[in-house]
């Protein structure tokens, strides 16, 4: 079957796996045995989080929250909360896990909301940090990131283009590279 879009390999599965293991070690070292609630942003971070969690050697609890901000391949600038965390946030140390930091609007809104709900500390880990200007009020940098990427639209390893391609094992650029 010919895919509807041109896809070009950007980061292959071996590099992803190596970096995710490294991130796991860095995060484990940072928390040094302290309990943390890992809050995974659905749906894009599901695959990354599944791999990352197995490299965390910490007392942790896993929760998810669904947010959406993209329509097609452009950020809408608005963040819709589609589901809330199920575990308590009040007084907890939260590690947010997302697929990609782009305009920074999603992380900023989620972090604001977690602090409003009483979180003791919120840190963030994203697989990809897109080199773009952040939106006004957007999160500028995550506490941990896997890879910096140029300002291209990527799919695979959880990331989608209108819900397609999340299952691809490698991260690919959608469309032409030039």
Among residues 16, 48, 94, 106, the one that binds ligand IMP under rule CB under 6 A: 106
Task: Measure the N-to-C terminal CA separation of the chain; round to a whole number of Å.
Answer: 25
Helix axes 13-31, 46-53, angle to 10 degrees: 60
Pick the closer one to Mg ion by CB: 81 or 118.
Answer: 81
Cα 70 from Cα 80, distance rounded (Å): 10
Nearest approach, Cβ of residue 99 and Mg ion (Å): 5
Q: Which residue is nearest to Mg ion (CB)?
A: 44
Q: Using CB under 6 A, which residues numbered 75 to 104 contact ligand IMP? A: 75, 98-104
Catalytic hit among 98, 99, 102, 129: 102
Q: b vs e for 146-164, b when ≥16 Cβ sit within 10 Å of the residue's Cβ? A: bbebeebbbbbbbbbbeee
Count CB neighbours of 36 within 10 A: 19
Strands of the 7-11 sheet, one edge to the other = 7-11, 171-174, 154-155
* Closest residue by Cα to residue 68 from 45, 50, 86, 47: 45
Q: How far is the CB of 34 from ligand IMP (least distance, A)?
A: 26
Task: Specify whether 102 is catalytic.
Answer: yes
Provide DSSP, 132-159. SPPPTT-----SEEEEEE-S--EEBTTB
Regarding 158 and contact with ligand IMP (CB under 6 A), the answer is: no
114 within 8 A of 106, measured Cβ to Cβ: no
CB 10 to ligand IMP: min, Å: 10
Q: Which is nearer to ligand IMP, 92 or 130 (CB)?
A: 130
In the complex, minimum distance from the CB of residue 47 to ligand IMP, in angstroms, rounded to a whole number: 12
Residue 69 in the binding site for ligand IMP (CB under 6 A): yes
156 binds ligand IMP, rule: CB under 6 A = no
Q: Which is nearer to ligand IMP, 36 or 174 (CB)?
A: 174
**Under the rule (CB under 6 A), what is the footprint of ligand IMP?**
44, 69-70, 75, 98-106, 130, 153-155, 159-160
Active site residues: 102
């Amino acid at each position: 079957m010919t895919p509807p879009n041109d896809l070009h390999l950007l980061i292959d599965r071996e590099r992803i796996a190596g970096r995710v293991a490294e991130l796991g070690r860095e995060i484990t070292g940072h928390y040094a045995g302290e309990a943390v609630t890992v809050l995974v942003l659905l749906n894009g971070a599901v695959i990354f989080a599944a791999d990352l969690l197995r490299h965390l050697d910490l007392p942790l609890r896993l929760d998810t929250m669904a947010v959406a901000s993209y329509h097609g391949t452009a950020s809408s600038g608005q963040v819709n909360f589609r589901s809330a965390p199920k575990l308590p946030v009040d007084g907890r140390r939260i590690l947010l896990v997302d697929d990609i930091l782009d305009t920074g609007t999603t992380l900023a809104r989620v972090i604001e909301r977690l602090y409003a709900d009483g979180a003791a500390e919120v840190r963030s880990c994203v697989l990809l940090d897109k080199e773009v200007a952040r939106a006004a009020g957007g999160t500028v940098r995550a506490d941990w990131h896997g890879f910096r990427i140029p300002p291209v639209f990527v799919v695979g390893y959880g990331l989608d283009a209108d819900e397609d391609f999340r299952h691809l094992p490698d991260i690919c650029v959608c469309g032409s590279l030039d």
